[in-house]
Structure 1
């Protein structure tokens, strides 16, 4: 049984018939979820999980002590780490939030186009429980458990076709959904409602205007969307065949 699982985990899954319909349908669905406010209101929690996960991972890699993560019902979040309040480690930790979702989406696009769909979904099944250990509020626990359960049900029970549909939709959502929060950030900043945003905190630490850091967040998100989108939909380009 373990060997069968490992074989499936690292094997290349065959593409479904009419892959172009799966890719295009998933892209349109993800776009609709991001653009339509009621669906964005609840689905944005997935982006927040990635955002706070980015803070947490870089905090640990930079030698800071991770103390806890909170996810709130208004789709905001907070990651608390201990260490020097200034310096490269703190700056990189603050920088990691907004780029996290689009970068994860780009990695997912690479795995999908290589046919490693099971590996991609299994990665989520491993990382989410690790994050759950650091969650410090009930809503955060419910959010992470809900996302993990959705991925688990797809991996364990869904047919190959529906796994492809789910995986493509999730990756498109991370890529597209990673852009919108940057605009929301700047809109809130312009209204004076986010004086302690990631961009403002980095600005105070580096003495570089916060708007420049908003530009960095947007650049990373757009580049990831373009690169990931090209990987996922390159079959649309004349003379280019999907792997």
Structure 2
């Protein structure tokens, strides 16, 4: 990978890295196309990172299909498909970690305390191997974008962060590898989350600025579905993830994490 990246860099190409857990889908396709449209050499990494999964999370059953992922990357014109082995990334006695202690603390940082330390540790290693000019990320994982942005700024890494909007299926459900776990009935109930987020945006567009009112209305819509359990729902500053009492259009974001039975999903919408 180092040699391939050096060769691309020597040819004058800008390198864009898209780090993924695999199980590539339409959201990842949008990232590849965004990078290609910018004229970058596109490097897609596929690695189910054990460091970002908690003890009772779905690491063992997380969908893995390297052949299908490689075929998708080839079809979309990615330049490099990078799928390192776990023992390569984290050999025995690996003992270093990277943490960010502000933006990572609320929201998913409460319910998944190892998530962002695992992501940052893995991604910093990927960045050191590839040394890309740009890191391409989806806004579906908005807190992850904010955490990585803060960490790269704090550590003075010369990497541009490029983001693409959340990609949704025709019914509005945000595309995620974990959607594959959903039964038709579970999926139908999960759609209430998108309805709640859209209602929140409608309220803000109509002039409502009270974060409590917007959250209450969204919560009411989701509460009608018996399979849904809200982990958190909040109006936050999209850069710091700090809670906001008043909605500031262009600054605020509504973020939600929820269970559909035993399946954990997230979504968000800029307000």
TM-score range, shorter chain: under 0.3
Instruction: Return the structure number with greater relative CO, CA threshold 8 A, min gap 6.
Output: 1
TM-score, scaled relative to structure 1: 0.27
TM-score, scaled relative to structure 2: 0.25
Please state which structure has a larger fraction of its residues in strand. 2
Please state which structure has a larger fraction of its residues in helix. 1
